[in-house]
Amino acid sequence: MDTMIIKGDLIKDKIFIEVKSEIQTLHAKYKKTPGIAFIAFSCIPLSKYNIPLHVNLAEAAGFFVIKKIKTEDTTEEELFELIDKLNDNDEINAIVLLQPLPPHLNPIRIINRINPAKEVEGFHPQNMLSTLIPDIKTEIYPMCLPTALIEMFKETGVQFKGDQEWVFVLDDEFVANSLTNMVVKSAASKVVPHDSSFTIVNKSSSHLIASCQRADVLVVVTKFAEYIQAEWLKEGVCIIDIYSNLVKEVPSKDDPNKLLPVIRGGINVEAVKGIASVLLPIPGGLMTVVLTILLRNALISFKNKLGVTTGIS
C-alpha cells in the first residue's frame, strides 16, 4: 500500500500570501497595522524554537508583534494582570497563549481571561461552546485545529467514508487537562462525520492497542515520541499526528555552533509507510497550517475592529 504523506507547506504558503496581501491592502487604505501578542513560557522545551517561529511569521505577514516571555514561577494573578493590559491595548487585535503552560496554571482559567474578540485560536470557552453547539451562534473565530485539518483534506482530496471509527489517543495529563480535553471534543465535533463514532483513549489504558487496531482514523496527541507501534495499526488507517516533541538538538551542518531541533510526534513515519493510507506527520503536517489559520483569524479580528466586511472572512 502506498502511504499518502500530507505536508502542510503548500497550504500554509497559500494562506500566508492571502493574509499578507490583505494586510498590505488594508494598511494602504486605513494607515493601520494589525497587532498580535504572544505569551509564552521559557521553561517549555520547545519554546526556544516555537516562539521565534510564531513571531517571525507574524512579522513577515505584516503584523505588529508584542512578545511576552514568562518564567515557570509566574502566578495566575501576574498572568491576569498582563492579559488585562493586552485586552485594553487598542493596538493589539489578537492575544495568543502558547501551549503548554507550567502545570500549576489552569489553561482554561487563563484563556477565559482573554477578551473573546482577541482570542483567535478558538480556545475561549465561549467559542468552544459554540463549536460544540453551533445553533447558539456565538462562535467568533473558527477553531484553528479542525479548520486546518478540514482545509488540508479538502486541498488533497481526502474523503472519509461513513460509519468509520475515529480513535483519539491522549496522554494521561492531556485527558486530565481541561483545555486539551475540550479542544479534542470540540475539534471532533467539527471533523468527525455524523455517522461515524469517536473514542478518546488514555495512552496508559489497557485498551490502547485494541483501540488502535480498530481505528479507521487515528489521532495521536502524546509527549512520548514515536510511541504508537506499527503492529498496533489496521491496514489502511488514516493517521493524524498532532503533538510536537523536542527529541534532541544537533549541530547545523552549515554552522556547527548553531543547534537545530529534532522534532518528532507520536508516530514513526518510516514504520507506518505501507500500513497507513494517509499520514499527517510531525513535523511538517497539520501544525504547519494551524499557525497560518491563527494569523488569518487575527486578521479577521483586525478587520472587525475596522468595520471591514470584505476580503478574508
What's 195's domain CATH number?
3.40.50.720
What's the confidence (pLDDT) of residue 115?
97
Which amino acid does the sequence have at 81?
E
- For residue 64, being part of any structural domain is answered with no
Average pLDDT of the segment spanning 221-233? 96
Alpha helices (runs of H) in the chain, residue ranges in sequence order: 9-30, 47-61, 76-88, 107-113, 125-132, 144-156, 172-176, 178-191, 208-214, 269-272, 286-306
What's the confidence (pLDDT) of residue 313?
63
- For residue 306, being part of any structural domain is answered with no
- For residue 299, being part of any structural domain is answered with no
**In this predicted model, what pLDDT tens digit does every residue of 97-142 receive, in sequence order?**
999 999 999 999 999 999 999 999 999 988 888 888 888 777 788 8
What's the confidence (pLDDT) of residue 210?
97
- For residue 138, being part of any structural domain is answered with no
- For residue 76, being part of any structural domain is answered with no
Bridge partners of 36, per DSSP, are 65, 94
What's the confidence (pLDDT) of residue 43?
93
- For residue 203, being part of any structural domain is answered with yes
What's the confidence (pLDDT) of residue 23?
97
- For residue 236, being part of any structural domain is answered with yes
Q: Over 80: is that where the pLDDT of 200 sits? A: yes
Contact 148, 164 (CB under 8 A): no
Instruction: Give the pTM.
Output: 0.93
109: Cβ contacts below 8 Å, ≥ 6 apart: 76
* Number of structural domains found in the chain: 1
Place of cell 485545529: 145
Provide the greatest CA pair distance for the chain: 60
Domain that holds residue 258: 144-284
- For residue 225, being part of any structural domain is answered with yes
